[in-house]
Amino acid sequence: MNRILEPELMIDEHQVMAYAQADFEIPHQDFIRRLSTWVHEPDFSGTALDLGCGPGDISFRFAKAFPLCSLDAVDGSQPMLNIAQAALSPDLVTRLRFIQGLLPTVILPQSDYEIIFSNRALHHLPDPQALWQTVKNYAKSGSRIIIMDLLRPANLAVAQKMVQDYTANEPDILQRDFYHSLLAAFSLEEISTQLAKADLQLHLEQISDRHVFITGVIR
């Protein structure tokens, strides 16, 4: 099945609110668990970069998991960032910055980051190199890269079954978005080709019927 693009940015008010209010406790905490296990540094005190942070739930979870860190979190959708900024507690103001900008042209406060991570941003991008080039632009030797995203199903029937299996109890708007995201996602082979084009030597692992986990250290 060929990829079917979805809008790069979530800016519709109803869509943004539905996404921000959805219960992502299990998948988001699983991402942080996997990231933490891979980083092997609970006392990490450097600066990390979150690409495609949306309303900030994973950014907040990362800041909690690594209480000595600083974090810059980027998203192209100002409505998403408005929600994230409103939820920013006083104790995080000095450690967590939300930044509006598109990949790969966003200008960030630092020239490089020790950890760069992203959860479910890749499939939103018309050109996947926007993510990989941003990683290259803001990584340095020793930077740890952790990327998680959806994988495209083999056909529409499989995608529709996944919607029923995993989002049957969610609002219609979230079911629709999940379906469109599945159709816009990449295959393992496509992601491998993207990484080769970007000259990034990262490890690909399929961790579920619909998720890929990508990790590595920049040399």
Residue 156 lies in a domain: no
pLDDT at res. 170: 85
pLDDT at res. 171: 86
Query: How far apart are alpha carbons 120 and 192 in whole angstroms?
Result: 17
Find the CATH number of the domain harbouring 44.
3.40.50.150
pLDDT tens for the 219 residues of the chain, in order? 899 987 656 656 767 676 667 667 888 999 999 999 888 887 899 999 999 999 999 999 999 999 999 999 999 999 899 999 999 999 999 999 999 999 999 999 999 999 999 999 999 999 999 999 999 999 999 999 999 999 999 999 999 999 999 988 888 888 999 999 999 999 999 999 999 999 999 999 999 999 999 999 999
Query: How far apart are alpha carbons 73 and 54 in whole angstroms?
Result: 9
Q: Which range of residues forms the domain containing residue 110? A: 13-151+186-217
Residue 135 lies in a domain: yes
Q: Could you tell me the sign of the dihedral formed by the alpha carbons of 112, 114, 117, 122, in that order?
A: positive
pLDDT at res. 51: 98
Residue 163 lies in a domain: no
Cis peptide bond upstream of 27, omega within 30 = no
**Length of the chain in terms of residues written:** 219
Residue 147 lies in a domain: yes
pLDDT at res. 39: 87
Residue 166 lies in a domain: no
Residue 174 lies in a domain: no
DSSP code per residue over the chain: -------SS---HHHHHHHHHS--HHHHHHHHHHHHHHH--TT--SEEEEES-TTSHHHHHHHHHSTT-EEEEEES-HHHHHHHHHT--GGGTTTEEEEE--TTT---SSS--SEEEEES-GGG-SSTHHHHHHHHHH--TT-EEEEEEEB--SSHHHHHHHHHHHHTTS-HHHHHHHHHHHHH-B-HHHHHHHHHHHT---EEEE-SSSEEEEEEE--
Q: Report how many domains make up the chain.
A: 1
